[in-house]
Chain A
Amino acid sequence: MKQSDEQKQLSPKPTFEDYFYARKLKTTIDRENEYDIPSSDYVDQACVLICPEKRGDITPQLIIPASLCTVIIRSPDTKTFLGEYYKNYKKGRKIEGDNEINEDRFELQVKSNVVDINKQPLLNELFQIYQECSVNNWDGYDAQPISNEAYLEAEKLIRLLPPNIKKPEFVPEPTGEIAFEWYQGKRFIFVISVGGNNLITYAGLFGNTSKIHGTEYFGAKLPNIIIDNIKRLFERAR
């Protein structure tokens, strides 16, 4: 008997797949960014964020550590297990569409201990911005809430940032997008933003006369123009 089979028999812990059913269990992005969540042992924390019912079927394509996913809960035990997270989250909060919640279907943030250590602080900061600005009028000027789709896309963007790129700051935009800002001074700045529609909007100032703006399709890779301009900013500002 193989060792893994023995372990299974000794501790018949439910696997991740027992807990969750989802459409895809792997990312569609670069191989090196793929993470499997092999079992529930890898799930450190799961917290219900929003009831997805209001917004129809928005199941994200990715399930990766610390990512959001829509799950369908299959077993009654699991329902209880996740229900606790949901109850804790719900305490003292007004949740839109609360009356329409189907308790068999939650949107969760699943955190795994399989993490890219360098990216985790960024993911945490991003999540904080999302929490603060995912409500209407977060700025006093009727700003659009940061959408779940924008958050997910920003998360994907973080994972695609090359390791040698300087750490950005996250900026919520009144349009409901999340921006990544690289700042070297008032007129040395490059910003990209995502809103969950597979587009990256970018703009930059490189001194008093050079400026740039545009939009790029955001697929499986970060467009080269984005990387080039981040590098350009730090080269010019030296």
Chain B
Amino acid sequence: MDKAISLNENVTRFIFQKSYFRSKDKTVRYNAFMPHRGSGTTSVYRVIGLADVDIYEIGKKFVADLFDKLLMGRADIGVSEILKHDLSVIPAPDPHPRHANICNWPEDQSKHKMIAMELAADAQLHLIGGS
């Protein structure tokens, strides 16, 4: 896996929570992208060159199984869309070589919300089984 993340890549946020998407119009909710309060980052995986089945395999093995959660789907977003908001995407190859973090979130909580809304608006929701 290339260490540097390209602007043309997509990253994905695995979804284990029904409130992280709207089933009515199949869109991603902003809370899916909000950063973790402790680390101040949003955990994502680089999906370049991977088929759907391989992407879900990572989500299942490296997150869902570890925390006993059901993988419901994922939200894909272009790295370039993330960088527009003065955020950065930094490789963090633990627990998986494709793991990365969205970093550099501002301190203001209300701004988190607004940026997360914009990321969610740019993201593509993929639900397992299309449900």
Closest to A181 in B: B29
Task: Determine whether the beta carbon of A205 is less than 8 Å from that of B63.
Answer: no
Q: Is A179 engaged at the interface, CB distance under 8 Å to the other chain?
A: yes
Q: What residue in chain B is nearest A189 (Cβ atoms)?
A: B117
Q: How far is the CB of A110 from chain B (nearest CB, A)?
A: 27
Which residues in A have their C-beta under 8 angstroms from that of B117? 189, 191, 203-205, 211
A164-200 vs B, CB cutoff 8 Å, 1 = contact: the mask equals: 0000000111111001010100110101010000000
Q: Is B45 an interface residue (CB 8 A)?
A: no
Tell me which residues across on chain A come within 8 A of B67, comparing CB atoms.
137, 140
CA distance A212 to B36 in the complex (A): 22
Do B114 and A171 touch across chains, with their CB atoms under 8 A apart?
A: no
Is B108 located at the chain interface by the 8 A CB criterion?
yes
Most chain A CB inside 10 Å of its own CB: which residue of B16, B17, B108: B17
Is A138 positioned at the interface, with any CB of B under 8 Å from its CB? Answer: yes
Given A174-B34, A186-B27, A205-B121, A139 and B20 touching (CB < 8 A)?
yes
Chain B CB within 10 Å, residue with most, of A174, A204, A215: A174
Q: Decide if A174 touches B110 in the complex (CB within 8 Å).
A: no
- B118 in contact (CB, < 8 A): yes
B114 touches A211 (CB 8 A): yes
Name B121's closest neighbour in chain A (CB-CB).
Answer: A186
Interface residues of B in 11-64 (CB under 8 A from A): 14, 16-17, 19-20, 22, 27, 29-31, 34-38, 43, 63-64
A124, B75: Cα distance in complex, Å: 29
Q: Is B6 an interface residue (CB 8 A)?
A: no
Instruction: Give the residues from 96 to 131 in chain B that come closer than 8 angstroms, CB to CB, to chain A.
Output: 108-111, 113-114, 117-118, 120-121
Across the interface, name the chain A residue whose C-beta is closest to B43: A141
Partner of B114, one of A141, A142, A203: A203
Contact B19 A129 (CB under 8 A): yes
B-chain residues with CB within 8 Å of residue A144 when the two chains form the complex: 37
Contacts of A213 in B (CB 8 A): 108, 110-111, 113-114
A157 to chain B, nearest CB (A): 16
Is the CB of A201 closer than 8 A to any CB of chain B?
Answer: yes
CB pair A205–B19 under 8 Å, yes or no, is: no
Q: Which residues of the partner chain A approach B27 to less than 8 Å between Cβ atoms?
A: 186
Output the nearest chain B residue to A193 by Cβ-Cβ distance.
B113
Contact string, A197-225, partner B, CB cutoff 8 A, digits 1/0?
A: 00001111100000111110000000000
Contacts of A204 in B (CB 8 A): 114, 117
| 9 additional contacts (CB under 8 A) given A140-B16, A140-B63, A172-B17 | A138-B17, A176-B37, A187-B121, A193-B113, A202-B110, A205-B118, A211-B114, A213-B110, A215-B108
Q: What are 14 A-B contacts defined by CB distance under 8 Å? A: A133-B19, A140-B17, A140-B69, A141-B63, A142-B38, A172-B31, A176-B37, A186-B120, A186-B121, A201-B109, A203-B113, A205-B114, A213-B110, A213-B114
Interface residues, chain B, CB within 8 Å of chain A? 14, 16-17, 19-20, 22, 27, 29-31, 34-38, 43, 63-64, 67, 69, 108-111, 113-114, 117-118, 120-121
